[in-house]
Structure formats: structure tokens, C-alpha cells
Amino acid sequence: MTADASDAVEIRNALLRLRRATGLPVAFGGLMEAGRQMRISELSGTATHALRSLVVTSGNGLGGKTVVLARPCVVTDYSASRQISHEYDAPVAVEGLRSVLAVPVVVRHSVRGVLYGALRTALPLGGRMLDEAVEAARDVERALVVREEARTLAAEGGAGVGREQVREAHAALRALAPKIADPELRAELLDACALLTADSIPSDRVRLAPREVDVLACVAAGATNAVAAERLGVTPETVKAYLRSAMRKLRARTRGEAVVAARRAGWLP
């Protein structure tokens, strides 16, 4: 799958997070292209352009090994390492890199890209640095999943999908939206959510806050307050507060009435 501009933004943001969290001066990465190749598309902290657009084949070098194994890999001295093949020694040497770590971006059991962090000295990398690099990769994974689901829903508009599945998907996407750092992707996701609600929305509908809709979407999907809190990353008390506020606006006496009223107003599918 070819990366688009939004994918590039996610890789760039993940590399910045990786550098901030680990203190590593250099980071780079990219997503898989058609076949078994990954192209390094984003650089952060590099001194040259030697690594830009470098095509890494599965199995070759540190990144290629990471793709094949679908797990993080580390070398303390890249050019001298016996753990990897050395097809890419020249550009790595031009950039002056020695210790390098690579973590895979895995979506639905498939490696979709690789993030690298590196030092220009031969020192061990691992522990907290590796953990932080893995978390940066998880950010990209979540963004890719959300974007793909949003695109699918936008294309299908919920056609051919059971009503309960639509409601569950709506609740899941609403819960993910606040966690997306990229504003364009977040807006794209919420637009896809809107396609799952009523076809005709009256202009005088009750105005609900985004988090009130998020909570109602979870409730409509059958979630308890505790489960809704876990999905939304808030406390159960916060969920209760949003639910009470939404019920007041919708003039509902129970959770069920609130869900029905929100559907009639076009806020929920």
C-alpha cells in the first residue's frame, strides 16, 4: 500500500516523539510499498540526505530484518554487526550512524512500516529507549487503523452492514477520535462518523458537546459507565457527568431515553 500525505504526517510526528522520549539525535522511517519493500520517506535530525528515499527490501539490513521478524531489532555498531546483512552500509556510513534500533509498525498482523532511532556512537540501545520507540510505532498503528476504517465507512456509508455493527463502529470511532493528534485525520474520522447517523439532520436539533456524543455512542453500543470510561480514557465519574448533561439537554429520564432521543436528533445511528 502506498503512503499518502496523511501517512507521512503520522510518521513525521512519531519520529519527533521518538527523539523527544529517547533522547536519540536521529530518527527516520517509512511505510511499506507494493511487494516486500519499504521506502524511508521521513528523516528527523539527520545531517545528510543519504537515507532519503532509500528502498529497504524485506530481510536486508536492520530494517529488512525487522520486517521479516515483525519485532524490534537493535545493533550496537551497524557496520560491524554480524546480526544483519550489509546492503545499506554506504548510506548509513555517510550519515555517520553506529548504534541503531528499528521497530515495526504492525497493523492487523501485517508489518506496514519501520521506525528507526540512532546514535553516532557505538553504545547499547534498549530498555526505556526501546520501549519509547515501540510506543511511537503504536501511535502510527492506531492512526493507520482509524484512517482505514474511516475510509471504508465513508466509501460504504454503512451499506450492507447490520445496524448493531454500525452502532458499534460509530462508538469505536468516536472513542478513537480525541486520541488522534493530526487535526485533518481527526476531522476525516468525524466526517465518516457523521455518515453513519441520520440522513437528514434538522437545523434546530439539540446541541450536544462532542464528549456527550461520545458517551452516548458508547451507551448505545451497550457499554457500562466503566467500559465507556476505559474506551474514552476518562473516569467513570466524568462519564456520568457527560451523560447527565446530555440527558438534561435531551429531556430524557433514563439512559435508554437519551439514546433514543439522540438518534431522533441525528446524533447517533
Q: End-to-end distance of the chain based on CA atoms, in angstroms?
A: 31
Burial track 61-75 (b if 16+ CB lie within 10 A, e otherwise): bbbbbbbeeeebbbb
Q: What is the pLDDT of residue 163?
A: 67
Of 18-27, 88-97, 229-238, the range with the lowest mean pLDDT is 229-238
Q: Considering the entire predicted model, what is its pTM?
A: 0.62
Of 69-73, 121-125, 138-142, 215-219, the range with the lowest mean pLDDT is 138-142
Render pLDDT for 23-56 as a digit per residue (tens, 0 to 9). Answer: 999 999 999 987 789 999 999 999 999 999 999 9
Render pLDDT for 111-146 as a digit per residue (tens, 0 to 9). Answer: 999 999 999 999 999 889 999 999 999 888 877 876
> Does 198 have pLDDT greater than 70?
no
> Does 268 have pLDDT greater than 50?
yes
Alpha helices in 177-268 (DSSP H): 183-195, 210-220, 225-232, 236-250, 255-264
> Does 16 have pLDDT greater than 60?
yes
Q: What is the pLDDT of residue 118?
A: 97
Of 40-49, 52-61, 85-94, 158-167, the range with the lowest mean pLDDT is 158-167
Give the CA-trace dihedral at 6, 3, 106, 150, to 10 degrees: 50
Say if residues 185 and 138 touch (Cβ distance below 8 Å).
no
- Domains defined along the chain, listed by start: 1-141 (3.30.450.40), 151-197 (no CATH), 210-265 (1.10.10.10)
> Does 203 have pLDDT greater than 60?
no
150 is written with which cell numbers? 474511516
Provide φ and ψ at 23, rounded to 5°: 80, 0
Of 127-141, 150-164, 200-214, the range with the lowest mean pLDDT is 150-164
Average pLDDT in the chain: 85
Provide φ and ψ at 184, rounded to 5°: -70, -45
